Structure 1
Amino acid sequence: MAERLKYHFEPRTGWINDPNGLVFFQGKYHAFFQHYPFAPRWGQMHWGHAVSEDLVHWEELPIALYPDREYEDSKQGGCFSGCAVVKDDVLYLIYTSVSDRHGQTQSVAMSRDGVRFDKYDGNPVIGLFPAEASADFRDPKVTYMNGAYYMVVASGKDGIGKILLYKSQNLLEWDYEGVLFEGAQFGGILECPDFFPFEDKYLLMFSQMNCDTRSTMFAYGDFDGKKLTNYSLHTPHIGPHYYAPQTFQDHRGRRILIGWLFNKDEKLNGGTDYAGALTIPCELSMKDGKLRAYPVEEAQGLLSGSDELVVVEDDKIRIKADNVAFPVEYSSRIDSVRVLRDTKTIEVFVNEGEAVFTYWYYAGK
């Protein structure tokens, strides 16, 4: 059985997937995450919770959200993905509540201490999906910009993936603004969207289902108040064991990205009662027209210049991981390579994050 990860968060027990509610609140970094606490597999979703002072060492706290209301009682649902927002010294969790009766709706919980949360009596705050969308209506992510709170929500209809846009002044009452972005070429549902001002434009991020590599797409362009326009596409995260990232802006103004790190096909050792981890936090930047994701300053001391699992030859890079059914190569000019190796994961950063390989290389036996 492999050792626990040293530099990445993984749960004491149970399953985790998407990071949710990434936020800096009351002097600490908070990471909430999709969590099934009773077994190392998917189940009715809760929100787990961990805090850190340095983005490298994490302390797991009590579960933040239990699926204990009628509007989130589905055994295959519960409290799905969402986000965190600080308003008037109150921490708001905005999440998809899933019930057999109501389907996927959007709800809110609030906390003054960042540990104990009370669900809003008026939940769900968005109970119906619009005509342009479908019952796949999830993963709200909220950003305050241009004097209002904007929420993006994942959906799709008739094979066309869509990201819906809502607007609010108080986080509880939301007006539907329309479809921010759509495209069948990205899949039928554009999961885990994130949308925020970045550099001198706007950056939209979403995850593409059923993509073995480059599952996270970034669209960088202009925002006319309703739609993303004049955008360019970027895929710095090659994967393959990377999905559902989310960003937040910390108190230093950094735009920090954390994703889900796991090989979903991993055969767990019989004695292992936990599964899944969060990636090392990375700071996003734009340089020479290329989006980059590179470990935050606090984690850069963990990087090395080489590793036995990383082969670099003539501007080609390859990861030697036996549990991957296909080789993944990067063919372009390579100026630098930095590697973060943990007990069973490896993250490789090419050209200061211009390309990022993420592997869960340990195969339990």
Structure 2
Amino acid sequence: MNDIAAPTESESAIRTIHTDLPVNATFHVWLKAKKPDVAGAVSFSNANGKFGEVSTSNLEEYSFRIYQVFGGGRVDIAYDTMTTAVSVIYWFTASDVLETGITVVHTKPDNAPPDLPDSYHFRPPFGWMNDPNGFGRFEGHPHLFYQHYSHGLRWNTMHWGHAISSDYLRWRHLPIFLFPSEDLTTRPDKRGGAYSGSTIPLVEGTGIRVFFTEQVQDRVPEQQIQLTATSPDLIMAGQAEVILGHRPDGQGLTPDFRDPYVVRGPDGLWKMLLGSQSDSGGVILLYETQDPTAASGWTYVGKLWVETRYKTTAIECPCLLPLDGPANARSTRWVLTYGLMHSEDPATGRKNLTMADVGWFDGKKFVKEFGQELDFGTDNYAFQAFLDGDSIVGIGWLANWADATPEIDFPTSMTLPRRLHFSNGALLTPPIGAAESLRHRILDRTRLAAGDRVDLSTGAVELLFELNKPGLPFDLEFDHPDVRLGVVCDETGLWIRHEDGRDGASPRYVSEGARPYRLRIFVDYGSIEVFADRGRYVGTKRIASFKPVRAAHLKTLEGAVAHATIWSLKQ
């Protein structure tokens, strides 16, 4: 049990947090001094009195401290609010943290997560989150790492947060996994940090190897370089080492050089994809190594892909995986996904598109067969996937840098995890099968199909309806207090209506020419995800407001709907 005793005006400024601990608990504490001549301090006490303390003299940014409590029982954590600011305190036991997760006992109000009952999307336990990193299955469980800043809901010095799951939907939060250099953590000045990357299993022994970009603004000659670290216990990364300290020479690249994605190629060698930019457009760079551990020996192979559409600057978060067969088979198609930074589709006004190209990869070159947008709603950004057995599972940041900036508070989530597979000449990205386990109870099986308004008792719902003929027009309206929201099929295709009253016309989130017959729509606090024809057309849109959708109303031709069901959802 955890509780906080807050001081009144007549009491001292000491704030005390009470918590009950098992033996051998580890505390992670972030604290900051408030006065230049007095250290900020957090003390630990039990029935026998004070037995420990952590402190800092840093006035600018919260300092990270670790404290081990070997005995169990009730512990009081105290600090003077006049001299000390505390951002986050959590504890865990290293012996079973992968099974039990962390216990958060304090977070300051302005970096706490939103209180959203029944919400089923992944959100961090505190602070800012963006790109998924290192998504994979390790030691039998899915692990999700992500870009993270603990001390507010605005982007700042990047760390890696971490969570573990059994089904990709229900997550246990784990300790902060990867920290930037000590110099970068001393001031909240947005100079850089541990940026996006990927993970692979250690070739020898248990654990993982991590690859990530270190950014240091104004560093000469390279602002962005590539580092690697290992974690035998999957709890925290060890000391990082530089593996690529500079961009390849003579390629006409901008300083953009980031987001290493590592995968085994068809020749059995480890390959690394990196995003960059040149005079000719966005670029994906390809590296490889003969080192079976992938720890060293990375050499530049060439430009795997150059993208000139949509006024793209740098390419971000490239990902490459075998799609419809084993990696070493010449007939196997591969899927290449990547984000187009600063891109804009002039026809629709959508920005920062994410592409998915299907073709063949021989270890040196990628030959495109066809391509499509990964998501016509564009808020499935920084998508990262991996091969889980013989199927691809991926997840994205449910947001977009078109409306996410470092200057605004921006609590976000990850998308529903999706599978990627090739069928009848198309790339399909349906939600993972386990998404059906979110169905809590049926809200409706007749009224939506009949054209009646259906009131929703919760902001977390799934709607499934099937048309009697592909492409029949419909207009699914959602009653939302802040946004005009809906899903429409008309002569132009399938699109998400999202009008939030901001200046100027809303972008048109459309899959042009789509003629769907089966729609599966997930609504949550702050988002809508549309999966049509089992993932052939997919659109994801963040909603700035966390207010729940109140009702749904489907307008279409008489007799057009074969059947329709609405479920309330719950983790």
Are residues 224 and 313 of structure 1, via their aligned partners in 2, closer, same or farther at CA, if it must alter by over 3 Å? closer
Q: Does 2:345 correspond to 1:207? A: no
In the alignment, structure 1 residue 319 sits paired with structure 2 residue 478: no
Q: What's the CA shift for 1:287?
A: 1.3
Give the residue type in structure 1 aligned to 2:215: V
Find 2:515's aligned residue among 333, 348, 364.
333
Supply the AA of the counterpart residue of 1:188: T
Deviations 1:202-225 (Å, cap 9, x if unpaired)?
A: 221110112435711112112233
Letter of the 1:255 partner, please give it.
I
In structure 1, what is the Cα distance between the partners aligned to 2:320 and 2:400?
27
- CA RMSD of the aligned region, Å? 2.7
Cα distance in 2 for residues equivalent to 1:27 and 1:263: 31
Counterparts of 1:314 and 1:72 in 2: how far apart (Å)? 51
Q: After superposition, where does 1:58-69 map in structure 2 within 5 Å? A: 58-69=171-182
2:379–2:399 Cα contact (<8 Å) kept = yes
Aligned length: 359
Q: 1:108 maps to what in 2?
A: 228
| Number of the residue aligned with 1:34 | 147
Tell me the equivalent position of 1:84.
199
**2:534 & 2:160 partners in 1: Cα distance?**
33
Structure 1 unpaired stretches of 5+: none
Equivalent in 273, 278, 290 of residue 152 of structure 1: 273
Aligned-residue offset at 1:364: 5.8
The one-letter code of the counterpart of 1:176 is Y
Which one-letter code corresponds to 1:360 in the other structure? R
Displacement, 1:93?
1.0
The residue type paired with residue 220 of structure 1 is V
Change (3 A) 1:147 1:313: closer
Gaps of 5+ in 2: 1-113, 325-331, 345-349, 439-461, 466-475, 479-485, 548-571
Report the structure number with the largest CA radius of gyration: 2
Pairing of 1:112-261 with structure 2 (within 5 A):
112-120=232-240, 123-131=241-249, 132=251, 133-145=253-265, 146-168=267-289, 169=291, 170-173=293-296, 174-185=298-309, 187-199=312-324, 200-210=332-342, 211=344, 212=350, 215-250=353-388, 252-261=389-398
Counterpart Cα distance in 1 of 2:157 and 2:165:
26
Query: What is the CA deviation profile of residues 174-223 of structure 1, one whole-angstrom value per residue up to 9, with x for unaligned ones?
Result: 11111111132252211110112221222211101124357111121122
| Superposition TM-score, scaled by structure 1 size | 0.90
Q: In structure 2, what residue type is equivalent to 1:79?
A: A
Mapped to 2, the partners of 1:243 and 1:232 lie a distance apart of 20
Task: Tell me if structure 1 keeps the 8 A contact 2:429–2:536.
Answer: yes
User: 211-220 vs 232-241, which deviates more?
Assistant: 211-220
Task: Find the aligned partners of 1:296 and 1:28 in 2 and give their Cα distance.
Answer: 15
Q: Using the alignment, how far apart are the partners of 2:334 and 2:417 within structure 1?
A: 21
SS at match of 1:332: coil
- Measure, in 2, the Cα distance between the counterparts of 1:76 and 1:124: 19
Question: Aligned partners of 2:133 and 2:432: how far apart in 1?
Answer: 19
Instruction: Give 1:144 shift.
Output: 1.4
Structure 2 length-normalised TM? 0.59
- 1:276-300 deviations in Å (ceiling 9; x for gaps): 1111100001112111100111113
Q: Does 1:262 align with 2:399?
A: yes
Contact 2:176/2:236 (<8 A) preserved: no
